[in-house]
Amino acid sequence: MHVTWTVSPVGYQRIAKRCPACNIKRDFVPSGAFRMNSQKKQLDVWSIYKCLYCDYTWNISLFSRLPVSRIDRELYARIVANDARAIQLFAHDRQILKRNNAELSGVPDFNVREQWRITLVRHQQVKVSIRLTMAFQVSLMSVMKKQLRLSTGEVTRLVNEGKIRGITLRELKNRKNHDTTYELWMSADAFYATRKMRREIVR
């Protein structure tokens, strides 16, 4: 059995920054608009962030002095249109956030889409692939807790008992995951344990 969990953030990664208007450190989120300046065939593009408590805005630099001829046409059209998907992609772009010295605040909520592929071999084990659609702050531990309806203590116990293999507790707890696929194995008993109720209802 092979299960794939595709994990996508809901909403934006918040950024903590001192708000000059509130005079205190506040969380900022994208306002939903880009700002663009062009000068001498060079582009500067920002995503405009705003304080969650007041109207103060702060620009996160996405590109600076980028030759107009080099920018992807589709991306350019999306920026001009303040495309929501583009704003979300940039809001989770680790390199851009780092370059702007952005301090990440909190963990965005996320959705998990589960897909099954039935295989004939290794049925004592369930292969689990966890794929992040974007590199956002989330731990694989929280994905497992959500999907398996287990506590941190229960997941830890399954790892220690060897019922979850191929990944360490340290890797599970790391929030700085990149947009790659992680693979691990679970004993079928452990995988189905919290789903028993659903099967009994079906029966």
Cβ within 8 Å of residue 202, ≥6 positions away: none
Determine the interface stretch with Zn ion among 48-56, 77-85, 112-120, 185-193 (rule: CB under 5 A).
48-56
Q: Exactly one of 1, 43, 45, 51 binds Zn ion (CB under 5 A); which one?
A: 51
Least gap, CB of 54 to Zn ion (angstroms): 3
> Which residue in the set 11, 18, 22, 114 belongs to the binding site for Zn ion (CB under 5 A)?
22
> With contacts defined by CB under 5 A, how many residues of the chain interact with Zn ion?
8
Separation of alpha carbons 146 and 140, rounded Å: 10
What Cα–Cα distance (Å) separates residue 155 from each residue in 20, 84, 152, 181? 43, 36, 5, 20
Between 22 and 68, name the residue whose CB sits nearer to Zn ion.
22
Q: Does 19 bind Zn ion (CB under 5 A)?
A: yes
Q: Which of residues 58-117 bind Zn ion (CB under 5 A)?
A: none
- As a whole number of angstroms, the distance between CA 199 and CA 151 comes to 21
Q: Does 54 bind Zn ion (CB under 5 A)?
A: yes
Residue 24 within binding range of Zn ion, rule CB under 5 A: no
Non-local (6+) Cβ contacts of 130 within 8 A are 4, 5, 7, 140, 143, 181, 182, 183, 184
* Chosen residue from 53, 106, 117, 168 binding Zn ion by CB under 5 A: 53
Footprint of Zn ion (CB under 5 A) = 19, 21-22, 26, 51, 53-54, 56
